Structure 1
Amino acid sequence: MSFRSLSIKHKLATAFALLTAVVLVVSGVAIRALASEHQSFSHYVNETAVRITMANDVLDAANARAISARNLVLVSAPADREIEKAAVTAAHKKVGESMTRLRTALASMTGVSEEERKMFATLDGVESRYGPVALDIVGLSLQGRRDEAVTKMNADCRPLLSALVKSANQLIELSVDVAKRDVARADAAAVANRNVMLAACVAAAALAAVLAWMITRAIVTPISRAMEVAQTVAAGDLRSTIDDSARDETGKLLAALKSMNDSLVNIVGSVRTSSDSIATGSAQIATGNADLSHRTEQQAASLQETAASMEQMNATVKANADTARQAIQLAGSASGAAEKGGQVVGQVVATMDDITASSRQIADIIGVIDGIAFQTNILALNAAVEAARAGEQGRGFAVVASEVRNLAQRSASAAKEIKELIGASVEKVEAGTRLVGDARTSMDDIVVQVKRVSDLISEIGAATIEQTTGIGQVSTAVSQLDQATQQNAALVEESAAAADSLKQQASKLASVVSVFKLAT
């Protein structure tokens, strides 16, 4: 069973139970951390610090005893000697008591290392040798044997005192190191405990936040969603998407809202569809009637214009009939003129043929003249040759022969030019003959076409007479159609008014239903 499917009561009970468990866990972690720190602090105060203090007491008492013994050797006044004797005795007693307390503490404490026990044994051994020596020095000083006391002090007391101080300092340093390690462990434990506490607090806060979020999401969110749905429905918006998958009280509330919203959607959708259909149909009817009215008016106007045009067309057709009759007459005249033109062109062709024959005869004559001039030139050349042979007697004949030769050359040149001109004329005459032949062919075609046009105009005249009769009948029908169109226009105006009223009613219904918004 998921958290979401639980009821609100069980959700709250589960959340508070989890928070209580988290508080208990955090409290247990805190108690354990405090107990660990208390144990570390108690071990330091009751054992490590006590050992350091006792070792310092031994060292202080030993130093005080050594100083008093030295002073006892150095002073000479009886009173001073008594004071120093009492000081030596008290210091020696304190050394013994301090050693006893330290020995007892080391024996009873559980956190003493083996190295500390060995160092204390060394210190105890040095003290067991140094104490009697110090007392011997005191006895020698009291007996007045000062020199022996000084010798014994330098020979025995000082090395043993140095060994005693060294052993005590080593024990103190070792205890201090142990204390530092204890402090470091305590600090590490404190840091670890702090981290554990922080982690526990963060976990508790995270769990509390998650639980708060889950409860808010499971309770407040559906209720807020239900309020939003109710507000949107009240505002006419039915497009809300409602998730009713939850199985608690909020899910049931949303399911009821969804059922209500779906019912409203169906009702409003049906009403809107009907109103839209009515509005669309009425709008189409109104638009169609308006268009029909407009087209009817246009048709009426067009029919009136058509009637007028038919009258004009009737007059025009009559005029065309008269024109067609005149055209038939003109076509007959044109046909006769074309035939005469064809005859004239035929005569021109015959004349051009005669000119061509004459030109060719002239060309032949020019050829004969050219031959005569050529022969005359040859004869003149021969005469000149003979005159040259005759000498002085033939000089006059040579002059005549030269002139004859010149005339022959000029005649040949003129004959040549005339021949060229006659040739060009012959070519032009032949070209003209061809053109005249083409013109004759065209005139023959024109005569044929004019006859065809005359026949067509005759047919047009007959058709025009028939059109005149048909146009009269069409004009009568157009007048009747104009009257029917006027009646239809009146009916269309009444239908348009009814459609416009239906459109207004449908628009009001659509406006009322448009308050509701549906999903597309």
Structure 2
Amino acid sequence: MSVVAQRSEQMDAEIREISTSTNDLARRTEVQAQNLNETSEVLRELTKSVRANASSVEDAHLSAQSAQSDAQASGDVVMQASQAMEKIRIESGKIGKIVELIEGIALQTNLLALNAGVEAGRAGDAGRGFSVVAAEVRGLAQRSSESATSIRTLIDRSGAEVENGSSQIAKTVDSLGSVEITISEITSQMDSISSCTQDERDQISSLNSTIEEMGIVTQKNAAMFEETSAACANLSSGAKDLRELTQQFQVSDTSQRTDAAA
């Protein structure tokens, strides 16, 4: 019986040690579970921030695309204006040639009228009526020449304005081209940022899921440790009962030996 008692005491000591270790593991597991919960909460907040950033990046991306479309549309309008200016310049050149013809005709008409007036003067009274007509023709030629000169002046001014406008349009086209290139670069950068943000969000979401799973496993482990601790307590109680019973047997056996000796 003494051997049983010793083994009971030894088992009780081992069970208490196991129980102590199990309780310590349970406490640590609970702390770990709490830390995992806190980490998971932080990751959830981080996920919200990343999603908000992704939304902002997407809005900026859409704005950049809209600006690029507007710049392209403006470039098309300016190009159409440039083409219209070029047509005006060409038509002005045609009008200038017509004015040259009018000036030539007016000069020839004026010379013919002068000659006709001279001939009418030589004809005396017979050519008086023709002289009046020649004077009227000469006046008409003079007015035509003056009108042609005025038209040429206006065309020259218009041509200068067209050239100036064409120069300004060319500068505008260059500026819009630079703006469009810059916006295109920004759009490309936004695409890269959006892609990186999406990857970051996916990775954080995956990490959050992993930590949540770890939290669940840790909580299960804590429950198992608590059950193990309870089982150790039951074993310790059983070992104590066994030790007490062994002691009772030892007392009974000693009494019987004493009685037999007497």
Q: Which interval holds the TM-score relative to the shorter structure?
A: 0.5 to 0.7
Matched, 1:374 2:107: yes
Aligned counterparts of 2:88 and 2:175: Cα–Cα separation in 1: 22
Match of 2:190 in 1: 457
Alignment match of 1:405 (pick from 107, 127, 138): 138
Q: CA deviation at 1:386?
A: 1.4
Q: CA deviation at 1:385?
A: 1.4
Q: CA deviation at 1:446?
A: 1.9
- In our comparison, the structure showing a higher alpha carbon Rg is 1
Alignment match of 2:118 (pick from 366, 382, 385): 385
Q: CA deviation at 1:372?
A: 0.7
Higher helix share: 2
Aligned counterparts of 1:416 and 1:316: Cα–Cα separation in 2: 75
Aligned counterparts of 2:190 and 2:132: Cα–Cα separation in 1: 84
Q: Between the two proteins, what is the percent identity of the paired residues?
A: 39
Match of 2:156 in 1: 423
Aligned counterparts of 1:318 and 1:338: Cα–Cα separation in 2: 30
The higher relative CO (CA closer than 8 Å, separation ≥ 6) is in 2
User: What is the letter of the counterpart of residue 339 of structure 1?
Assistant: Q
Matched, 1:447 2:169: no
| Structure 1 runs not aligned, ≥5 long | 1-311, 470-520
Q: Deviations over 1:36-73 (max 9, x none)?
A: xxxxxxxxxxxxxxxxxxxxxxxxxxxxxxxxxxxxxx
For the residue of structure 2 that corresponds to 1:323, the secondary structure is helix
Match of 1:356 in 2: 89
Q: Deviations over 1:62-94 (max 9, x none)?
A: xxxxxxxxxxxxxxxxxxxxxxxxxxxxxxxxx
User: What is the letter of the counterpart of residue 343 of structure 1?
Assistant: D
Match of 2:171 in 1: 438
Q: Deviations over 1:431-458 (max 9, x none)?
A: 2222222222222222211111112223
Aligned counterparts of 1:316 and 1:420: Cα–Cα separation in 2: 69
Alignment match of 1:342 (pick from 75, 99, 102): 75
> For residues 185-334 of structure 1, what are the structure 2 equivalents within 5 Å?
318-334=51-67
Aligned counterparts of 1:392 and 1:441: Cα–Cα separation in 2: 73
Aligned counterparts of 2:200 and 2:187: Cα–Cα separation in 1: 20
For the residue of structure 2 that corresponds to 1:429, the secondary structure is helix
Match of 1:153 in 2: none
For the residue of structure 2 that corresponds to 1:426, the secondary structure is helix
Q: CA deviation at 1:330?
A: 2.3
Q: CA deviation at 1:467?
A: 8.5
Q: CA deviation at 1:313?
A: 10
Aligned counterparts of 1:344 and 1:365: Cα–Cα separation in 2: 31
The alpha-carbon distance between structure 1 residues 426 and 313, as it changes in their structure 2 partners (threshold 3 A), is farther
Aligned counterparts of 2:121 and 2:50: Cα–Cα separation in 1: 101
Q: Deviations over 1:318-347 (max 9, x none)?
A: 534312101112222332332333333333
Aligned counterparts of 2:150 and 2:58: Cα–Cα separation in 1: 61
Aligned counterparts of 2:47 and 2:160: Cα–Cα separation in 1: 60
Aligned counterparts of 1:319 and 1:374: Cα–Cα separation in 2: 81
Q: CA deviation at 1:351?
A: 2.5
Q: Deviations over 1:459-518 (max 9, x none)?
A: 44456678989xxxxxxxxxxxxxxxxxxxxxxxxxxxxxxxxxxxxxxxxxxxxxxxxx
Q: Deviations over 1:355-407 (max 9, x none)?
A: 21111010010011011111111111111111111111111111111111111
Aligned counterparts of 1:319 and 1:366: Cα–Cα separation in 2: 69
> For residues 459-498 of structure 1, what are the structure 2 equivalents within 5 Å?
459-461=192-194
Aligned counterparts of 2:46 and 2:108: Cα–Cα separation in 1: 87
User: What is the letter of the counterpart of residue 138 of structure 2?
Assistant: R
Match of 1:264 in 2: none
Task: Output the TM-score relative to the length of structure 1.
Answer: 0.28
User: What is the letter of the counterpart of residue 331 of structure 1?
Assistant: A
